[in-house]
């Protein structure tokens, strides 16, 4: 595909030379390849494509059946890729046209992006090509969490300590699987999340609990029976990859098995991170502290992860209403209080 499109090959080479992660390069390549295939089917020159041609691609994405079954792009559509998936497909196309503009092959980007424009209504925010839907992260309820813990107790020591760390330190999947033995500081119960393993290349040091420390000690003793070499913390114990670093996909399969067994299908490798950050908010941590703990560059990202449960909101509402109710009762039963309030 890219052999037939010189500019696309050059664009992808630039990103590779800039040191982007292999998975990012792969995602960009696959996303742009889909767009180029559409251009070939429709007889469109991708270099000269306009906004109408991009609209054809968007229409195709919104009507394409999802490979995992029916998904919705709007409440009543019943088909098409999810909104987040469509946004991901458009990112490499937008970046490709940015590259063509920099090379002097185009004067404008047909994809465009949402941007702030002074003087516009609704806070000056101009809508992007496809409206972005922002959904609150899902976290399990108390009963669902108990089911997950019940299943997790039957897992090998490695999987249990990984789940504990994933929650304790709010780790992303890649951060967890990339931990090395020298990232641990058992004396202070902290671990270092190296910049090269994070999403935004921000290194941080985070603590873990005493109970997780007990699990960690047991796992390190177990790990020594597999390999005494320093290096990746979590090792595979399968016959095919014995003593090799545990892959992201293997960990995803472990979590998926736990989710299915516990009958909590929405539980994923990212759920523990959501739950930890939400629990920190419930405990009264300030927003910037949670952002630092999570490794977010901006607090706007933190707000997307943190949401209080309906019960928490109900408690806040009840306390507020109790105060209002008390004032109204006092005003009704004390004429002097009511007249004083009116005279203000």
Domain ranges (residues) in the chain: 2-115, 142-305, 317-342
pLDDT value at 190 more than 70: yes
- Measure CA of the first residue to CA of the last residue in the chain; give whole Å: 75
CATH 3.40.47.10 fits 142-305, yes or no: no
pLDDT at 76: 38
Kindly report the pTM of this predicted structure: 0.68
pLDDT at 222: 97
Please give the residue that has the higher pLDDT: either 281 or 121.
281
What is the maximum alpha-carbon separation in the chain?
Answer: 86
How does pLDDT run across 276-323, given as a tens digit for each residue? 988 888 887 888 899 999 999 888 777 776 655 454 555 666 666 676
How does pLDDT run across 3-45, given as a tens digit for each residue? 788 899 999 999 888 887 788 888 899 999 999 999 999 999 9
Q: 82 and 64 in contact (C-beta within 8 Å)?
A: no
The fraction of the chain above a pLDDT of 90, given in percent, is: 51
Distance CA 271, CA 77 (A): 28
- For 205, the enclosing helix (H) or strand (E) is strand 204-207
Residues 157-166 have a mean pLDDT of 96
How does pLDDT run across 212-227, given as a tens digit for each residue? 999 999 999 999 999 9
Distance CA 198, CA 297 (A): 11
CATH 1.10.10.10 fits 2-115, yes or no: no
How does pLDDT run across 94-104, given as a tens digit for each residue? 999 999 999 99
pLDDT at 302: 79
pLDDT band at 184 (very low <50, low <70, confident <90, very high): very high
């Amino acid at each position: 595909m890219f052999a037939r499109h010189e500019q696309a090959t050059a664009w992808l080479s630039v990103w590779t030379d800039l040191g982007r992660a292999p998975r990012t390069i792969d995602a960009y390549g696959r996303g742009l390849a889909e767009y180029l295939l559409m251009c070939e089917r429709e007889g469109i020159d991708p270099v000269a494509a306009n906004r109408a041609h991009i609209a054809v691609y968007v229409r195709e994405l919104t009507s394409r059946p999802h490979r995992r079954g029916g998904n919705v792009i709007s409440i009543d559509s019943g088909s098409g890729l999810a909104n987040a998936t469509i946004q991901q497909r458009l990112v490499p196309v937008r970046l490709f046209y940015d590259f063509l503009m920099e090379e002097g092959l185009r004067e404008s980007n047909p994809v465009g992006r949402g941007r702030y424009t002074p003087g516009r209504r609704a806070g000056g925010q101009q809508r992007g090509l496809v409206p972005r839907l922002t959904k609150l992260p899902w976290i399990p309820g108390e009963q669902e969490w108990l089911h997950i813990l019940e299943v997790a107790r039957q897992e090998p020591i490695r999987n249990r300590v990984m789940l504990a760390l994933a929650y304790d330190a709010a780790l992303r999947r890649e951060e967890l699987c990339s931990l090395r033995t020298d990232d641990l500081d058992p004396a202070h119960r902290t671990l270092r999340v190296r910049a090269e393993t994070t999403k935004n290349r921000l290194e941080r040091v985070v603590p873990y609990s005493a109970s997780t420390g007990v699990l960690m000690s047991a796992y390190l003793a177990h790990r020594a029976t597999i390999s005494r070499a320093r290096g990746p913390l979590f090792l595979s114990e399968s016959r095919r990859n014995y003593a090799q670093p545990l892959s992201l996909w293997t960990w995803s399969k472990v979590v998926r098995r736990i989710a299915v067994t516990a009958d909590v299908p929405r539980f994923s490798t990212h759920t523990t991170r959501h739950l930890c950050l939400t629990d920190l908010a419930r405990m009264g941590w300030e927003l910037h502290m949670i952002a630092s703990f999570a490794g977010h560059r901006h607090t706007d990202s933190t707000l997307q992860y943190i949401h209080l449960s309906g019960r928490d909101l109900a408690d806040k509402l009840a306390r507020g209403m109790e105060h209002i109710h008390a004032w109204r009762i006092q005003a009704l039963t004390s004429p002097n209080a009511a007249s004083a309030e009116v005279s203000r």
